[in-house]
Structure 1
Amino acid sequence: MTHDDDTSTENTATESGEDTQTTEGRAPSRRSLLGWGGAGLAIGAVAAGGTAAALRTAGDTQPAGSDATAGSAIAFHGRHQAGIASAVQDRLHFAAFDVTTDDRDELIALLKEWTKAAARMTAGDAVGDGAVGGLAEAPPDDTGEALGLPPSRLTLTFGIGPTLFEKDGKDRFGIKARRPEALIELPQFPGDNLDKARSGGDLCVQACADDPQVAVHAIRNLARIGFGKVAIRWSQLGFGKTSSTTPDAQTPRNMFGFKDGTHNLAGTDTAALDKHVWVADGDAKGKESWMAGGSYLVARRIRMHIETWDRTSLQEQEDIFGRNKGEGAPVGKKNERDTPHLKSMLPTAHVRLAHPDSNGGVRILRRGYSFTDGTDGLGRLDAGLFFLAYQRDVRQGFVPLQKRLAANDALNEYIQHVGSALFAVPPGVRNADDWWGRALFA
């Protein structure tokens, strides 16, 4: 499952001096489109105990690694993409896309348009000319369901899958030679039962926000903009973050009721992020230079056998994880953040197997989410963990770690990996003239 807190990391805060979103010359934000009526709603929210951030302007931004106020905006431009080291938001809408056009110029034009739309939405602005006030005879530029809502710390993180470089032996867009060596085909791990309809993808966009409607609005608009050029291959909604990049915050719990992400990398730990998460200049030479400052994302849909787990004794549950369920303390310890004594745990305990000390210091940056997608037709919850992990190189990160867990982890009796994808996540968009994937296609 690779889902314990002791294996995680996350990316850094936006570095000082990097480009941030500006407000000059920008159309009114989606909130201001509602005029004073919208402001009245925001004031009412504050009076009722809501966040004061509802009154912020779209240009109010927070550093990527800070635990930002729920209604504020996170800067879109910077050296690294937001949504990796950023403080983890409450909600997720993840979408993998298949590219349906064979025209390189059409794809580049789409990526430019997507980037402009992403910059506007993360700032709290409507796409294009907005959802209202345009020509009555034409569809609006924005779908409108986020009108009046604050940015909600929306981040949009873009990735590129192996099949964009080559598919069925074809160099689709003249970029086959620039495929990074680390963008491998993930191996089939023991116990995997992968659904092809929930795996892979040419492109991906990870939308995280504190309001689910803001996240869904973002993916919906990108899909609408891409009509005829891309199509959603699969998507996943998530709630209840299962990891945190802000160690001072309360550790979240997964669907099994255990705290998750106790020792995830902090978004402000630049040294750890440089070591474990960001692709270094030395890693990205020649044909791979476009990946410098980027990262690699593993996305895994992990089904949890909820009903079986719920009939398991508390002692067995704690033995499986290697932590107690209440405080989250390691076996034999009192507090959650106490250093675990791995040899005091069962050899098959999840924490023992996943801990960096058992894996040559390997760490990955996790920002997964829980999910429930109804039932499976047999009266059982289709629920689990949507595992998202960023790392500098999956060949030294996720792959050896998952091989170890898949072979020995006692938790495997209660989970199954049913979806899988790997994406190269380029560095950040530097300024208004830059766009997602520009260095790859240059």
Structure 2
Amino acid sequence: MSPTREPGPSRRRFLGGAAAATAGLAVGGAAGFGIREATAAPVAQAATADLGAASVDRAAAVVPFYGSTQAGITTAQQERLMFASLDVTTTDVQELARMLGRWAAMAARFTAGRPVSDSPVRDEQPPFDTGEAEDLGPHSLTITVGFGPSLFDDRFGLADRMPPELTPFGTIPGDAVMKPGLSDGDLCIQACADDPQVVFHAIRNMVRAARGTAVLRWSQLGFGRASATGAGQVTPRNLFGFKDGTNNIHADDVTAVQEQVFVPAAADAGPTAWMAGGSYLVARKIRMEIESWDTDPLTDQERIFGRTKSSGAPLTGGEEFTPIDFAAQADGKPVIDVASHVRLAAPETNGGARLLRRGYNYTDGQDPDTGKLAAGLFFIAFQRDPQTQFKAIQTRLGRSDALNEYIAHIGGGLWACPPGVSGAGDWFGKGLLGDLV
């Protein structure tokens, strides 16, 4: 996985829209060059050289793996995701710990652009690494691991170590059609990078390394980030065409991150002290009824969101980040509809609760039952306390959000992501399991 060579994009770009767009730009550029005067050649060659250098730099970009917190939470959000949920099959806590140790060692190598092992492979044995990311580079890969509520049953004696924040939500408004086969899991892995094959490679090899200890429960590919985790990132658009997550936490808002994202150390934490420096991940696979949405008039779409579609500005005026005037009225009615998404999700109406989002768009092709596009938002959010943050916000949205006519939560779960891996020899969840092995 040397970061020094970047092959052409066509062999690894899945999700055809991105591939088609890239190919279209390349063809268009070539055709235009053919009719320019010869004097334009040096300029075009210089631009091509700059583009090639930028591509190599992007491929070689490394996000440090070791640290006090796991990467992939406040890291500037990458363009691609693969998320995996696994169920633990062993009842031997030492086996589980060894697997988490293997995962940490592999994640350190993958995020540095290296394969599973540098050891030579004999011809008569399978390769240590599956090989599909060889020569691609790390592409800012981050790997984040979490533990689900179901891991704290009686298999490993962890019941008293489960934080109250990890209590399962039960069925909250909007969750009525959640599918068990797309929900929950003992463990989760979130892999994010700027190349789709890099994230696939990471998940594939970590699941492979779990054989005999854990099995894949469900997974999801994501593309075209649907969140901005840094103030320097442009707010992206969801598949309904609206800017999404304008008022959510940015990772460079240090105060908000400290107050609402990471779990603080507490003298009285007792058996749950292992989560100090960690964060809670909530995921939701949200199906979008795209065809129905596309028949809705623009004014109604904007009323449902509470923002203009083109600029993302609130309907009360200004620009995207202009504070919303929820008291504003026109013709005796609130300008921001009482059932609008932006009003019900706003910190002002949820006791100041905010989330750090890392969502992605997804498509699973065509729904065989309806013939419609199977597409939507794979919502991911990190927070200090999912009971008072996500659950409280989603309860309001699930009860009365006008957007509910066009969306459905069909999968997801809740996981506790422990603090980061400090260095070689440390591993995911050592603070939770270390004294048991």
TM-score using structure 2 length: 0.85
Kept after mapping to 2: 8 A contact 1:122/1:155: yes
**Deviations, residues 287-315 of structure 1 (Å, cap 9, x unaligned):** 10000000111111111111110110000
Kept after mapping to 2: 8 A contact 1:284/1:291: no
Kept after mapping to 1: 8 A contact 2:62/2:141: yes
Q: Which has the higher helix share?
A: 2
**Deviations, residues 109-133 of structure 1 (Å, cap 9, x unaligned):** 1110110000000111111136xx5
Q: How many residues align?
A: 389
How many angstroms apart in 2 are the aligned matches of 1:418 and 1:284? 37
Q: Which amino acid aligns with 2:171?
A: Q
Match of 2:211 in 1: 227
The structure 2 residue matched to 1:437, chosen from 415, 429, 433, is 429
How many angstroms apart in 2 are the aligned matches of 1:45 and 1:218? 33
Measure how far apart 1:227 and its partner are: 1.1
Match of 1:185 in 2: 168
Match of 1:20 in 2: none
Kept after mapping to 2: 8 A contact 1:98/1:231: yes
Q: Using a 3 Å threshold, how does the CA distance of structure 1 residues 371 and 139 change in structure 2: closer, same or farther?
A: same
Q: Which has the larger radius of gyration?
A: 2
How many angstroms apart in 1 are the aligned matches of 2:216 and 2:358? 22
Kept after mapping to 1: 8 A contact 2:251/2:356: no
Name the Cα RMSD after superposition. Answer: 2.0
Kept after mapping to 2: 8 A contact 1:255/1:370: yes
Q: Which amino acid aligns with 2:344?
A: L
Match status 1:416 vs 2:405:
no
User: Which SS does the other structure have where 2:291 is aligned?
Assistant: helix
Measure how far apart 1:248 and its partner are: 2.4
How many angstroms apart in 1 are the aligned matches of 2:242 and 2:115? 39
The structure 1 residue matched to 2:127, chosen from 140, 162, 166, is 140
Match of 2:21 in 1: none
Match status 1:49 vs 2:51:
yes
Kept after mapping to 2: 8 A contact 1:129/1:140: no
Kept after mapping to 2: 8 A contact 1:241/1:368: yes
Match status 1:391 vs 2:380:
no
**Deviations, residues 391-424 of structure 1 (Å, cap 9, x unaligned):** 0001110111111111111000000111121000
The structure 2 residue matched to 1:350, chosen from 341, 354, 358, is 341
Measure how far apart 1:41 and its partner are: 7.9
Kept after mapping to 1: 8 A contact 2:361/2:378: yes
**Deviations, residues 59-89 of structure 1 (Å, cap 9, x unaligned):** xxxxxxxxxx564010001111000000000
User: Which SS does the other structure have where 2:140 is aligned?
Assistant: coil
Measure how far apart 1:223 and its partner are: 0.8
User: Which SS does the other structure have where 2:281 is aligned?
Assistant: strand
**Deviations, residues 224-277 of structure 1 (Å, cap 9, x unaligned):** 111121111000000111111122222100000000122332222221111000
**Deviations, residues 137-176 of structure 1 (Å, cap 9, x unaligned):** 111111100011111000000000011111xxxx111222
Q: Using a 3 Å threshold, how does the CA distance of structure 1 residues 244 and 125 change in structure 2: closer, same or farther?
A: same
Identity, % of aligned positions: 50
| Ranges in structure 1 where 5+ consecutive residues have no aligned partner | 1-29, 56-68
User: Which SS does the other structure have where 1:319 is aligned?
Assistant: helix
User: Which SS does the other structure have where 1:342 is aligned?
Assistant: coil
Kept after mapping to 2: 8 A contact 1:284/1:292: no
Q: Which amino acid aligns with 1:126?
A: P
Q: Which amino acid aligns with 1:301?
A: K
